[in-house]
Amino acid sequence: MKDATPSSAISAAKTRRFRRIIRADGRSCLVAIDHAAYMGGGPPLDAMHAIAAGRPDGILATWHLARSHAETFADCGLVLRVDGGVSELGDFAASDVSGILHSAEEAISIGADAVVLLVFPGTPDEEKSLQRLARLASECEQLGLPVMAEAIPGGWARTVEWTTENVSRAARIAVELGADIVKTVCPAAPEEFGVVVEACPAPVVALGGPRMDSEDDVVALARGVVAAGAAGIAFGRNVWGSPDPAALVARLRAAVHGD
């Protein structure tokens, strides 16, 4: 019997872009190199070729890195950081003062396969980030561009605890507002990440957080969350802070994809 399902150009575009981030096995090894936009430092510029040499599935990058290192990262997916406008210089703002810096059309113009933004369910002004997500998701839907929401319950100040339940609820909220992929914290032991995955109807990747004691610990976290059902990882400073980023990315790829 013929497939009577109607096709859609927008759906086709989203499928192709999504596959550049989440691979055919349903998993992804992502490296976050978007820190300098708020830290004013972070990923060393001379580490870019080494990161790419490890063959990550994709990178989370700022506009500058996406534009200036296009050739370096041409073989992996691009998740463009589209929110921000704040920095760590001076005191942290008492409220959410971030904004959308780049539109969905601008993201497509630079070759992005997806966009990423932060959301903070549970903060006193949660509506700001949640409404940003919903508006951006609607815009991206019209263009076939996947959206990754970096869901941090209670924000970085942890106005709500990063319990398994709260992380799970934050991830589900992000998907309900339009996210296609969720990046979030590992609540405690890696095996508990399975509860987050079970509660979320979209792929979930774990962020790496602060520098760990050893690279074996970094790889163990990746293996642990994937064993619990995560779609993969999006690690940043533990990768670009490594003395050998290429070797660590290769180890993380093996941990995620079972190579």
Predicted confidence at residue 232, as pLDDT, reads 98
Answer for the pair 98, 84: CB distance below 8 angstroms, yes or no. yes
Answer for the pair 179, 21: CB distance below 8 angstroms, yes or no. no
Core vs surface per residue 74-113: b (16+ CB within 10 A) or e? eebbbbbbbbbeeeeeeeeeeebebebbbebeebbeeebb
pTM above 0.85, yes or no: yes
Answer for the pair 60, 21: CB distance below 8 angstroms, yes or no. no
Answer for the pair 53, 246: CB distance below 8 angstroms, yes or no. yes
124 vs 121: CA distance, rounded Å: 9
Phi first, then psi: what are they for 101, rounded to 5°? -95, -30
Give burial (CB, 10 Å; 0-12/13-18/19+) of 189.
exposed
Comparing 5-9, 49-53, 81-85, 214-218, which segment has the lowest mean pLDDT?
A: 5-9
Residue pLDDT, tens place only, 4-36: 777 899 999 999 999 999 999 999 999 999 999
First vs last C-alpha separation in the chain: 37
132: tokens are 């940003």
Half-sphere exposure of residue 253: CA atoms within 13 angstroms, side-chain side:
18
**Is residue 259 pLDDT above 80, yes or no?**
no
99-100 and 83-84: which strand pairing? antiparallel
Q: How many residues does the chain have?
A: 259
Q: Which CATH class is domain 19-257?
A: alpha beta
Residue pLDDT, tens place only, 97-152: 899 999 999 999 999 999 999 999 999 999 999 999 999 999 999 999 999 999 99
Residue pLDDT, tens place only, 141-174: 999 999 999 999 999 889 999 999 999 999 999 9
Nearest to 67 by CA among 86, 239, 59: 59
